[in-house]
Amino acid sequence: MKNTMLLILLTVFYMNAQKPEVIKIEPVPNEDVTLSANLSQGVKIDDLSWAWSSQNACFVAFQQHKFTGNHVLFTGIIPPYSEITVTVIPKDPNANFSIYAYEVGVDKMPIVPDLPSCIRCEADYKWDRKWKGLTQDHTRRVKNLVALSKPYRMIIGVVGAEGLEEGEFTMVVSTKSR
């Protein structure tokens, strides 16, 4: 009986540890929405294989160390005929953050790691090397979250790289609509 109860508690803990809370945001056409949060509000997601599956193609497996810290998730609806850019600005410019965002149907809410497929997935993280003619600072940005004639749901993940579990950040959701 004790072993069964322990197994149930561990299963519940594991399931809860894998499912982060999702914070709702409401993009406003032709405006910026700014939120503040902390990586400590999120959870680690051990299974990152969803990201490099061909149905999602968010980031490649050899970059997974940049997504091993706490994940803080946000969701919102991309209005029709809109494009969204999400920028994450860590309070500490030396903190190593990453970001990803994916689009799904407006009536769906698949949360990583249970993401069988998505319409689009974008990610940004600290570069391993310098690129000729380009520079990178501590901010991270995903662009091209797009809805044409119908709205889509976006899920945004702000993540600590290299196991980072704590750090304040500001997130700016910029919506351009016609």
Q: Which of 58, 45, 161, 41 is nearest to 103 (CA)?
A: 58
The class of domain 2-127+136-177 in CATH terms is mainly beta
Residue with tokens 């993401």: 115
Structure confidence by residue, pLDDT tens digits, 89-117? 999 999 999 999 999 999 999 999 999 99
- Say if CB 80 and CB 165 are below 8 A apart: no
- Specify the pTM: 0.87
Low-confidence spans in the chain with pLDDT less than 50: 1-16
- Per-domain boundaries in the chain: 2-127+136-177
Integer Cα distance of 132 and 124 in angstroms:
18
Can you give the pLDDT at residue 51?
A: 96
Q: What is the pLDDT of residue 18?
A: 53
